[in-house]
Amino acid sequence: MRQRRMLAAAVLLATAVTAHAEHFEYRIDLSGTYTVGGADGCSAADTTGCPRAGTLSGLMSFDTPGSADGSWSIMANFGDITDFHVDLGSLGGEDLYGGINLVGGAPSGSVQPLDQTETFTFDWASRSASYDYDFGYHNPNGAFTGTLSAVPAPAPRWLFLAGIAGLAVAARRRSRAGA
């Protein structure tokens, strides 16, 4: 009887967790051009302001308040989206503002800090992303585009089955110890 209660509790918990939120996690791979700034811009005497080719890689993750299609806001710590994180440039350490649309299970959206010096956009339907930054005249700037790829996560059903297997093993050990 006790095992049935534990199984029912596990099923209820798994259902409740999957019914209220959806977790998304993506790897970002971008390429583009950037400058590191320079007082004179790009010149033969000072090449620090000249465009250079570069690549960026990072991770993005967030949770939506539900698994159904919709539009949600990202407003620092007060928006609909929880645990939004992207680790490109200084975006990982700033309060971000923007929004995410979920259509047919495919999210797309855009975020930027309050000063609008950086912008990150993504679209899972086309597997594309872009990251632009501009810190002003003769300061670092860059424009990067590239792809998104899903970070594999264990499927909820496999986690559920692993939990049931753990309960079965525990029950068998108890019955052996009692015999």
| pLDDT-based confidence at residue 19 (cuts at 50, 70, 90) | very low
Model pLDDT for residues 86-107, shown as the tens digit of each residue? 999 888 888 999 999 999 989 9
Q: How many CB atoms lie within 10 A of CB 111?
A: 22
Given a cut of 80, is residue 14 above it in pLDDT?
Answer: no
Q: What is the pLDDT of residue 10?
A: 52
82 phi, psi to nearest 5 deg: -110, 150
- Spatial distance between the Cα atoms of 76 and 67, rounded to a whole number of angstroms: 21
Model pLDDT for residues 138-173, shown as the tens digit of each residue? 788 999 999 999 998 665 655 666 677 777 777 777
Segments making up each domain of the chain, as ranges: 22-154
